[in-house]
């Protein structure tokens, strides 16, 4: 053997050897046991589970986070079963455990991979202290449809941003070595295309041409696989007529043959049996056959494998070699986690909870996640020095649970700093704070308390309204067909407006909402998503200028729900609108002759552009981009160039800007988007300072899947922009040229 093999390679070889030896000892029943994940309750170990564990018929459990119960489960599996194979303990640690970070869509608005990695690290530590060693995150489905409830869990509409943030979260959860204490296995989900569900209705059909699938939806998954994600979760959804759970194309051709993924694939919750509901199989036995043939290694919370796999093997319809391969994938992750050496959890090995460092990370994430959409006449930041009183109004001002957002099984609302608390903490006795909830919930249509709210607005210097969506309106199975502010919130804004004072709106929501009906009624808008445990402190610090807002939209905000799907990296079409085109039906002459009016792609009653574009966000600073340049005008395929621009802060305060790099491939063998994000960086610029922001572009960054579905960079002309949103207009261009033969 080559003695210079790195330790990592040697470790890999040892694991592969141990997998082979262990699989060689296992009975068929024990092999199927490893493919079985059961959902248990959190306060006891049922007798039937004890029996199954002793006989090696359970490989993993989910939704147990009581560390004593977890250790008891592990003890039975390790000490009372024949082969002593430890368990994977799975949990949805999506954006925090006890300390809750902003929802992933809010974290995406930070455009800060380092922050997401740190947040995931803290979440992993808190979860690991409870015995969890596997999280079902990051969710990296691309979503261009804010009606979809699960956009809250996503990183938004862009493949590049989602890839960067998904990789960061994987690295946060898994650390540099899965076997180190506090590292837990990550799970990139839902593979694949789930976010393209028709009308944004959760679980609905997805029809995605392979070119679009590869160039958009698969990119983040490839990135996380290349970054070493331990597991992948199959999607519930039907992709082009074949549910992902039965898709050999996805699970074998793409994941294994093309990407050489060597972790394991888990089904979604009971999604194997759902193949019958899809109408793909007649019964659970056929469902088991299709899933195992496709390469679903482990069944989450279902009985298809445990009840039918053995007979399928006996009948010769499933080759035991296939089962050995799938079991090997599962054991590989268990070995990499170090579970055979150290299956038990000692909570005292972990930082105490609640953890001050985790809270600090949660606050920083909340601070950087907030997007300032409007700030007329610089009404923000507020100053205690020129305020005697403020009215704090709305159903989300004092909502410790709601501000945590969706998917927080283990979040502790008692730890939440609410928006009201944050304002109180900020102003102390210097400013009188009048709080009126005005609505029991964000969905309420009861306006009985509006008079009291209006009086508070009239009797104070200005009003801050905390509005939006409760968390139950977002997340899995919670899609909305109308994405206006729910309930009577719009009427509340209009009533408060009539008091004649400044109105600041802070929106807590799990999706981009359609704000067209309020955007002209208020003086400032902060979009805070669901900001998590420390949301109140963060929002107060932004309102009073301790920090400047730096968040940028990770998803487009439509004018109207009828514009959806709407996203910045659209194709040009043969009749493109002028990007900033705003044409409304009432702009048209009274008697418009029946023609193909406009001759370009837009809606008569909504125009073309969104209310706020991808990448948009205001600051207390005033940023200006000038003098874009490319290091060379012609770049050979295989080489790289740099693109830079000057960024000046003409404002009164220093602040962070997220500078963004967009590229367009003007002519290619398949149509290409009008812009694609290819780089971004958070940069701090002092008041009056000018800095140079610089991005390196490899020609491989320009590659796309062409007509033959192979990744290719084609020679030709490219346009490039640098700016503070996807509407950046500072542009340059360069040529990619094919490397000369023999060069
Ligand atoms: C769900 C979700 C999946 C989650 C799993 C376990 O239905 O689709 O994202 O990880 O069940 O809770």
The pLDDT tens digits of the residues spanning 440-483 come to 999 999 999 999 999 999 999 999 999 999 999 999 999 999 99
Which string of b and e fits 414-447 if b means at least 16 CB within 10 Å? ebbbbbbbbbbebbeeebebbbbbbbebbebeee
What is the per-residue pLDDT for 676?
Answer: 98
When pLDDT is averaged across residues 661-669 and rounded to a whole number, the result is 98
Q: What is the mean pLDDT of residues 508-526?
A: 98
CA of 271 to the centre of ligand 1 (A): 10
Going by pLDDT thresholds of 50, 70 and 90, the confidence category of residue 249 is: very high
- pLDDT digit string, tens, across residues 192-226: 999 999 999 999 999 999 999 999 999 999 999 99
pLDDT of residue 594: 67
Query: 141 CB under 6 A from ligand 1?
Result: no
- Measured in angstroms, how far is the CA atom of residue 468 from the centroid of ligand 1? 25
| DSSP secondary structure of 90-137 | EE--SSBSSSBPPPHHHHHTTT-HHHHHHHHHHHHHHHHTTT--EE--
pLDDT given for residue 490 in this prediction? 98
Q: Residue 593's pLDDT is what?
A: 67
Residue 299: strand, helix, or coil: strand
Ligand 1 centroid to residue 62 C-alpha, Å: 10
Q: pLDDT tens-digit profile of 673-682?
A: 999 999 999 9
Nearest CA to ligand 1 atom 1: 269
3 state SS of 618: strand
| pLDDT (0 to 100) of residue 607 | 84
pLDDT at 1: 41
CA of 537 to the centre of ligand 1 (A): 31
Catalytic residue among 158, 268, 284, 665: 268
The residue nearest atom 3 of ligand 1, judged by CA position, is: 268
pLDDT averaged over the chain?
A: 95
Instruction: Note the pLDDT tens digit of each residue in 294-324.
Output: 999 999 999 999 999 999 999 999 999 999 9
Residue 420 is predicted with a pLDDT of 98
CATH class of 623-737: mainly beta
pLDDT for 282-295, tens place per residue? 999 999 999 999 99
Is 270 touching ligand 1 by the criterion CB < 6 Å? no
The closest-lying atom of ligand 1 relative to the alpha carbon of residue 301 is: 6
Q: Where does the pLDDT of residue 589 fall: very low under 50, low under 70, confident under 90, or very high at 90 and above?
A: low
Residue of the CA atom closest to atom 12 of ligand 1: 92
In this prediction, residues 2-28 reach a mean pLDDT of 86
Q: Is 92 in the pocket of ligand 1 (CB under 6 A)?
A: yes
Residue 416, pLDDT above cutoff 90:
yes
Question: How many Å lie between the centroid of ligand 1 and the Cα of residue 92?
Answer: 7
Mapping DSSP to helix (H, G, I), strand (E, B) and coil, where does residue 712 land?
strand
Output the CA–CA distances (angstroms, integers) from residue 606 to 200, 513, 692, in the order listed.
Answer: 20, 15, 38
Check whether 597 has a pLDDT greater than 90. Answer: no
Q: Which of 65, 92, 192 for mutating ligand 1's site (highest number of atoms within 8 Å of CB)?
A: 92
Active site residue 268: yes
- Using DSSP's 3-state secondary structure scheme, residue 402 falls into helix
Is residue 639 within 8 Å of 630, Cβ to Cβ?
no
Q: Whose CA is nearest to atom 7 of ligand 1?
A: 269
Q: Please report the pLDDT score of residue 671 as a whole number.
A: 97
Q: Separation of 273 CA from ligand 1 center, angstroms? A: 15
User: Does residue 160 contact residue 527 with C-beta atoms inside 8 Å?
Assistant: no
* Atom of ligand 1 at shortest range from CA of 63: 12
- From CA 103, how far away is CA 402, in angstroms rounded? 11
Rounded to whole angstroms, the Cα distance separating 463 from 456 reads 8
pLDDT of residue 658 exceeding 50: yes
Can you tell me the distance from the alpha carbon of 713 to that of 722, in angstroms, rounded to the nearest whole number?
21
Q: Which of 153, 269, 272, 408 to mutate for ligand 1's pocket (most ligand atoms within 8 Å of CB)?
A: 269
CA-269 nearest atom, ligand 1: 11
Q: Identify the DSSP state of 295.
A: T
CB 427 within 8 A of CB 367: no
Nearest-atom number in ligand 1 for the CA of 190 is 9
The atom of ligand 1 lying closest to the CA of 139 is: 9
Ligand 1 pocket test, pick from 40, 95, 132, 136 with the greatest ligand atom count within 8 Å of Cβ, gives 136
pLDDT band at 622 (very low <50, low <70, confident <90, very high): very high
Kindly state if the Cβ of 63 falls inside 6 Å of ligand 1. no
Does pLDDT of 741 surpass 80? no
Architecture of domain 360-543: 3-Layer(aba) Sandwich (3.40)
Domain residue spans of the chain = 360-543, 623-737
Model confidence at 598, pLDDT cuts 50, 70, 90, reads low
Q: Provide the pLDDT for residue 3.
A: 47
Q: List the structure tokens of 311.
A: 């007979």
Give the orientation angle of helix 284-294 with respect to helix 320-336, to 10 degrees: 60
Q: What is the pLDDT of residue 738?
A: 86
pLDDT at 2: 46
Instruction: Map 302-332 to HEC letters.
Output: CCHHHHHHHHHHHCCCCCHHHHHHHHHHHHH
- For ligand 1, the distance from its centroid to the CA atom of residue 257, given in whole angstroms, is 26
Dist. CA 565–CA 448, nearest whole Å: 37
Convert 170-192 into a string of H (helix), E (strand) and C (coil): HHHHHCCCCCCCCCCECEEEEEC
Ligand 1 mean position, distance from CA 52 (Å): 24
What is the pLDDT, as a whole number, of residue 590?
65
Q: Once rounded to an integer, what is the mean pLDDT over residues 544-557?
A: 98
pLDDT digits (tens, 9 = 90+) for 28-37: 999 999 999 9
Is the predicted pLDDT of residue 596 greater than 80, yes or no?
A: no
Q: Does residue 153's CB lie within 6 angstroms of at least one atom of ligand 1?
A: no
**Which strand ranges, in their side-by-side order, compose the sheet holding 231-234?**
187-191, 231-234, 264-266
Count CB-CB contacts under 10 A for residue 630. 18
Cα(670)–Cα(209) distance, integer angstroms: 13
In the predicted structure, residue 742 carries a pLDDT above the cut 70: no
Does residue 189 line the site of ligand 1, with CB under 6 A? yes
CA dihedral 412, 414, 418, 422 (to 10 degrees): -120
Going by pLDDT thresholds of 50, 70 and 90, the confidence category of residue 712 is very high
* Cα diameter, the chain: 85
CA distance 212 to 560: 25
Closest protein CA for atom 11 of ligand 1: 269
Residue 608: pLDDT band by 50, 70, 90 thresholds?
confident
User: Could you say which DSSP state residue 416 is in?
Assistant: -
User: Mutate which of 64, 132, 245, 268 to test ligand 1's pocket (most atoms within 8 Å of Cβ)?
Assistant: 268
Ligand 1 near 476 CB (within 6 A): yes
Between 94 and 580, where is the model more confident?
94
pLDDT given at position 579: 60
Tally Cβ neighbours within 10 Å of residue 688: 11
pLDDT of residue 591: 66
Report residue 117: phi and psi, to 5°. Answer: -65, -45
The atom of ligand 1 lying closest to the CA of 94 is 10
CA of 267 to the centre of ligand 1 (A): 9
Contacts for 501 with CB less than 8 Å, ≥ 6 apart: 457, 458, 460, 461, 462, 463
* pLDDT of the residue at 580: 56
Residue 343's H or E segment, with its range, is none
The protein residue with its alpha carbon nearest to ligand 1, atom 8, reads 268
Q: How far is the CA of 338 from the centre of ligand 1 (A)?
A: 25
Residue from 330, 335, 332 nearest 58 by CA: 330
- The three-state secondary structure class of 675 is coil
Could you read off the pLDDT of 558-585 as tens digits, one per residue? 999 999 999 999 999 998 987 655 555 5
pLDDT band at 587 (very low <50, low <70, confident <90, very high): low
Q: Is the CB of 136 under 6 A from ligand 1?
A: yes
Would the pLDDT of 352 be above 90? no
Q: Which atom of ligand 1 is nearest to the CA of 187?
A: 10
- Specify the range with the lowest mean pLDDT, choosing from 8-12, 396-400, 511-515, 547-551: 8-12
331, 22 Cβ separation under 8 angstroms: yes
**What confidence score (pLDDT) does residue 332 get?**
98
Q: pTM of the full predicted structure? A: 0.97
pLDDT above 80 for 720:
yes
Mean pLDDT of 160-184: 97
């Amino acid at each position: 053997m080559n003695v210079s093999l790195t330790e990592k390679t040697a470790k890999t070889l040892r694991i592969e050897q141990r997998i082979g030896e262990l699989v060689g000892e296992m009975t068929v029943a024990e092999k199927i046991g490893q493919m079985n994940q059961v959902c248990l309750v959190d306060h006891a170990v049922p007798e039937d589970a004890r029996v199954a564990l002793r006989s090696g018929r359970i490989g993993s459990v989910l939704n147990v986070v009581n560390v004593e119960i977890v250790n008891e489960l592990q003890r039975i599996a390790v000490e009372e079963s024949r082969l002593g194979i430890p368990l994977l303990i799975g949990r949805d640690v999506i954006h925090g455990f006890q300390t809750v970070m902003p929802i992933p869509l809010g974290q995406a608005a930070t455009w800060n991979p380092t922050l997401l990695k740190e947040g995931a690290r803290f979440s992993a530590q808190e979860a690991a202290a409870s015995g969890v060693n596997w999280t079902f995150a990051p969710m990296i489905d691309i979503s261009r449809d804010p009606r979809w409830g699960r956009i809250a869990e996503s990183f938004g509409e862009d493949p590049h941003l989602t890839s960067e943030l998904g990789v960061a979260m994987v690295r946060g959860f898994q650390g540099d070595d899965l076997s180190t204490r506090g590292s837990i296995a990550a799970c990139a989900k839902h593979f694949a295309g789930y976010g393209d569900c028709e009308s944004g209705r959760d679980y609905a059909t997805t029809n995605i041409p392979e070119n679009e699938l590869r160039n958009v939806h698969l990119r983040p998954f490839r990135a996380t696989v290349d970054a070493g994600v331990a597991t992948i979760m199959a999607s519930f959804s039907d992709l082009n007529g074949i549910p992902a759970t039965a898709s050999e194309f996805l699970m074998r051709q793409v994941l294994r043959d093309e990407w050489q993924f060597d972790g394991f694939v888990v089904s979604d919750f009971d999604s194997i049996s759902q193949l019958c509901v899809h109408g793909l199989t007649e019964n659970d036995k056929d469902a088991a056959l299709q899933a195992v043939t496709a390469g679903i290694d482990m069944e989450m919370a279902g009985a298809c494998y445990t009840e039918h796999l053995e007979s399928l093997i006996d009948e010769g319809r499933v080759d035991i070699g296939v089962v050995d391969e799938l079991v090997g994938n599962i054991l590989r992750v268990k070995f990499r986690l170090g579970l055979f050496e150290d299956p038990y959890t000692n909570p005292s090995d972990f930082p105490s909870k609640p953890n001050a460092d985790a809270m600090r990370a949660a606050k920083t994430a909340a601070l950087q996640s907030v997007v300032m959409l409007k700030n007329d006449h610089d009404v923000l930041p507020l100053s205690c020095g020129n305020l005697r009183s403020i009215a704090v109004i709305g159903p989300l001002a004092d909502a410790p649970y709601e501000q945590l957002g969706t998917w927080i099984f283990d979040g502790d609302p008692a730890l939440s700093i609410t928006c009201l608390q944050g304002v109180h903490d900020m102003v102390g006795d210097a400013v009188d704070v009048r709080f009126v909830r005005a609505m029991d919930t964000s969905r309420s249509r009861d306006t009985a308390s509006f008079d009291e709210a209006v009086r508070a607005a009239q009797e104070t210097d200005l009003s801050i309204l905390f509005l939006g969506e409760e968390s139950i309106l977002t997340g899995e199975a919670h899609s909305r067909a109308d994405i206006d502010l729910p309930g009577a919130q719009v009427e509340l804004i209009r009533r408060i407006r009539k008091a004649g004072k400044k109105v600041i709106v802070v929106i807590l929501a799990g999706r981009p909402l359609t704000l067209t009906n309020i955007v002209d009624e208020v003086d400032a808008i902060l979009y805070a998503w669901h900001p998590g445990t420390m949301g109140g402190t963060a929002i107060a610090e932004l309102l009073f200028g301790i920090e400047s807002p730096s968040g940028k939209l990770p998803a487009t905000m439509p004018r109207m729900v009828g514009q959806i799907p709407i996203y910045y990296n659209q194709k040009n079409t043969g009749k493109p609108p002028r990007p900033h085109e705003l044409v409304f039906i009432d702009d048209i002459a009274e008697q418009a002759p029946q023609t193909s009016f406009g001759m370009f792609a837009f809606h008569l009653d909504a125009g073309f552009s969104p209310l706020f574009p991808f990448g948009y966000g205001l600051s207390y600073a005033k940023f200006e981009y000038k003098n874009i340049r490319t290091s060379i005008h012609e770049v050979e395929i295989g080489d790289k160039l740099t693109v830079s621009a000057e960024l000046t802060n003409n404002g009164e305060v220093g602040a962070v800007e997220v500078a963004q790099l967009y590229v367009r491939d003007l002519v290619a063998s398949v149509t290409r988007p009008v812009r694609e994000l290819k780089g971004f960086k958070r940069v701090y610029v002092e008041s009056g300072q000018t800095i140079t922001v610089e991005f390196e572009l490899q020609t491989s960054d320009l590659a796309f899947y062409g007509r033959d579905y192979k990744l290719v960079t084609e020679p030709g002309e490219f346009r490039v922009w640098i700016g503070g949103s996807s509407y950046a207009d500072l542009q340059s261009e360069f040529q990619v040229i094919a490397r000369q033969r023999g060069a």
